[in-house]
Amino acid sequence: MAKRGYHHGNLRQALVDAALELIGAKGPTGFTLSEAAKQAGVTPAAVYRHFEGREDLIAEAARQGYEIFADLMEFAYESGQPSALSSFEATGRAYLAFARKYPGHYVAMFESGISVNRTPELAIVSARANGVLEKAAAALSEYAPPGKRPPSTMFSAHIWAMSHGVVELFARGAAGSRSPFSPEELLEAGIGIYLRGLGLVPPDE
């Protein structure tokens, strides 16, 4: 691979960018810090001025991914307003779009084994992203009688799991080619079945 140049003071980001490429090509555990350094065009010793180890580098890639993800989720939520259902469904589509456009970040965030509590900064931004889906779930659950409303955290976790499953099975790799439906269609249908089962589809939707 050709060495990448970097501007003075931007080595940290050059290393993150290198890690994202390597994560996409080899997975989060398939590369070494030395490979990340080589990809960034620096010596291995230079890495340790910014990161203590590979997990710290991946954690920073995950943090940056969550920043993008949270912004995308917030935009999706707002784009669906004033309909609670449209906003909720938009966040699901945003999840699929993020996984497609930012595969390295996605893997660093959800498949690397890095805890969101590894750093305070990572915890804060991951909570912001999760908070958007919880907000959408809470708004939609208002259509259910108070005694029958599922906790918004559980509600949003179910949809998050469904979205993740669609990404893993159909939005990446060869498996998706075996489905006659697009990932978006599968997720929309799954969300619809889930919401109808809970009686949470608004009467005017």
Query: With contact defined as beta carbons under 8 Å apart, do 51 and 29 qualify?
Result: no
Asked whether the CA dihedral 10, 12, 34, 19 is positive or negative, the reply is negative
C-alpha distance from residue 9 to each of 40, 56, 126, 138 (Å): 13, 19, 27, 43
Query: With contact defined as beta carbons under 8 Å apart, do 192 and 201 qualify?
Result: yes
Other C-beta atoms closer than 10 Å to the C-beta of 173 total: 9
Alpha-carbon dihedral 34, 38, 41, 46, rounded to 10 degrees = 10
Query: What is the amino acid identity at position 169?
Result: L
pLDDT (tens place) for every residue of the chain, 205 residues total = 444 444 445 888 999 999 999 998 888 888 888 899 998 888 888 888 888 888 999 999 999 999 999 999 999 999 988 888 888 889 988 999 999 899 999 999 998 999 999 999 999 999 999 999 889 888 888 877 777 777 888 888 888 898 888 888 876 655 445 677 888 888 888 888 888 877 776 555 4
Nearest to 90 by CA among 125, 140, 128, 165: 140
CATH number assigned to the domain with residue range 11-47, chosen from the 4 options 1.10.3470, 1.10.10, 1.10.287, 3.30.43: 1.10.10
Tokens of 134: 């919880």
Q: What are the residue boundaries of the structural domains of the chain, listed by start?
A: 11-47, 59-198
Specify the pTM. 0.84
- pLDDT reported for residue 5: 47
Q: Cα–Cα distance between 80 and 92 in angstroms, integer? A: 11
Q: 59-198: CATH homologous superfamily?
A: Tetracycline Repressor, domain 2 (1.10.357.10)
Residue positions counted in the chain = 205
